[in-house]
Amino acid sequence: MKHILQHLSEGKSLSFEQINSASESLFSKEITDSEIAAFLIGLKMKGETAEEIAGITAALRARSLKFSREIPNVMDNCGTGGDGVKSFNISTTSAFVIAGAGIPVAKHGNRSISSKTGSSDVLEHIGINLTASPEKTEEILEKVGIAFLFAPHVHPQLRRIMKVRNDLRIPTIFNLIGPLTNPVELEAQLLGIYRRDMVVLFAEVLKKLGRKRAIVINGAGYMDEASLQGENYLAIVENGMITEKILHPEEFGLSIFSNDSIRGGDAKENAHILLRVLRGEKGPYRETVLLNAGIGIFTAGKANSIQKGIKLAKESIDSGSALDKLQELITESQKNQRKVM
């Protein structure tokens, strides 16, 4: 670690192998909290490269709970948080819509970061078991078509690193890489990030991690989701190439709403919003989900355009398929007959 810290202090970037080895050493009992902090600050001050982020991610995934089954065409849609918009749980609601369109979703998530309520908080309130074993999670994913992976549960060895990160009280790479560390082998991924300057960088990381198709998005108002407020900036990974794109909701016949119109609340309120959307209620919450789920469906290759992805998202909601996925997940994760109220 001393050699790595010296490299970083000199502003030198590390290879995938170097950063992967250094990241593995973060789990050692011999390493001090000061060394972990110096490592995170050194990377931040130098500026992380795609190689370094991929190397850290590989090390973290190697230490996660093991998911052994190869389930085809699985995707995740997860944001980094940190945008400060305090929106409702957009990607969580969208995940059920994507699953309702026939795409397997391994949804990775955590407690609240930038919104009042994180994905785990709202799903736990609805009645979904967050601590199923990898075997049970894989069984649910195969049977239902959607499963939830609670980050602290699937990454139990990260507690010490997370404590140091929180003690630093400044953002580091660990505030951004959560969506990259899903331990399930994903073919496609929709990743939202609040840092517009890192959209292409994270697309390069997803490419290095082997995603067949991926989109990294920074929404209008610098949301870590697609926004109805205005222009959204995307980087699309496909066939080994990265393409940048600007999209506006009006291109798809969606209304313009400010980000203030999609604010959320506590777990109870956000669960209520999620259910209202899945039951077909019209308004800014629904249209925000249609845009994000449509992009997700396109990312997975189920639709050959975002416009068609939005059409499939509408069908998923209006047919009741998205709500059915939620109810099935509650039932299978709890193994009882609790009903959505």
Summarize pLDDT for 289-305 with one digit per residue, the tens. 999 999 999 999 999 99
Instruction: Please tell me whether 112 is known to bind a ligand.
Output: yes
Burial class (CB in 10 A: 0-12, 13-18, 19+), 291: buried
Instruction: Please tell me whether 258 is known to bind a ligand.
Output: no
270 and 299 in a common domain: yes
> Tokens at residue 41, please?
């600050």
Residue 167 covered by a domain = yes
* Region class of 226: left (phi > 0), else alpha (psi between -120 and 50), else beta: beta
Rounded CA gap, 91 and 135, in Å?
24
Whole-number pLDDT of residue 114 = 46
Residue 341 covered by a domain = no
Whole-number pLDDT of residue 339 = 46
DSSP letter string over 274-316?
Answer: HHHHHTT--SHHHHHHHHHHHHHHHHTTSSSSHHHHHHHHHHH
Range of the domain at 161: 75-330
Domain count, the chain: 2
Instruction: Please tell me whether 128 is known to bind a ligand.
Output: no
Q: DSSP class of residue 65?
A: P
* Region class of 221: left (phi > 0), else alpha (psi between -120 and 50), else beta: left
Whole-number pLDDT of residue 280 = 97
The stretch 109-125 carries a mean pLDDT of 74
Residue 87 covered by a domain = yes
Instruction: Please tell me whether 7 is known to bind a ligand.
Output: no
Name the pLDDT band for 171 (thresholds 50, 70, 90).
confident
Instruction: Please tell me whether 165 is known to bind a ligand.
Output: yes
Instruction: Please tell me whether 210 is known to bind a ligand.
Output: no
Instruction: Please tell me whether 36 is known to bind a ligand.
Output: no
pLDDT at 54 over 60: yes
Q: Report the CATH number at residue 256.
A: 3.40.1030.10
Q: Where are the beta strands (DSSP E) in the chain?
A: 75-79, 105-109, 146-150, 188-192, 213-218, 232-238, 241-247
Q: Report the CATH number at residue 9.
A: 1.20.970.10
Q: Which of 39, 62, 85 is the last residue of a domain?
A: 62
Burial class (CB in 10 A: 0-12, 13-18, 19+), 160: middle
Q: Are strands 232-238 and 213-218 parallel, antiparallel or unpaired?
A: antiparallel
Instruction: Please tell me whether 108 is known to bind a ligand.
Output: yes
Whole-number pLDDT of residue 334 = 86
Instruction: Please tell me whether 87 is known to bind a ligand.
Output: yes
Kindly report the length of the chain. Answer: 341
182 and 140 in a common domain: yes
Residue 329 has φ and ψ, to the nearest 5°, of -65, -40
Whole-number pLDDT of residue 296 = 98
Instruction: Please tell me whether 270 is known to bind a ligand.
Output: no
Whole-number pLDDT of residue 337 = 45
Instruction: Please tell me whether 272 is known to bind a ligand.
Output: no
Q: Are strands 232-238 and 241-247 parallel, antiparallel or unpaired?
A: antiparallel
Rounded CA gap, 210 and 311, in Å?
28
Instruction: Please tell me whether 213 is known to bind a ligand.
Output: no
Residue 68 covered by a domain = no
Question: Would you say 254 and 246 are in contact if contact means Cβ atoms under 8 Å apart?
Answer: no
300 and 249 in a common domain: yes
100 and 10 in a common domain: no
Asked which of 114-118, 257-261, 276-280, 304-308 is least confident by mean pLDDT, the reply is 114-118
126 and 11 in a common domain: no
> Tokens at residue 246, please?
């600007």
Question: Would you say 99 and 297 are in contact if contact means Cβ atoms under 8 Å apart?
Answer: no
127 and 216 in a common domain: yes
Query: For residue 255, how many other CB atoms are within 10 A of its CB?
Result: 12
Instruction: Please tell me whether 320 is known to bind a ligand.
Output: no
Burial class (CB in 10 A: 0-12, 13-18, 19+), 167: exposed
SS3 of 220, please?
coil
CB contact set of 46 (below 8 Å; sequence gap of 6+): 8, 11, 12, 13
The stretch 89-109 carries a mean pLDDT of 96
The stretch 193-203 carries a mean pLDDT of 96
Instruction: Please tell me whether 177 is known to bind a ligand.
Output: no
Q: How does the average pLDDT of the chain come out, rounded?
A: 92
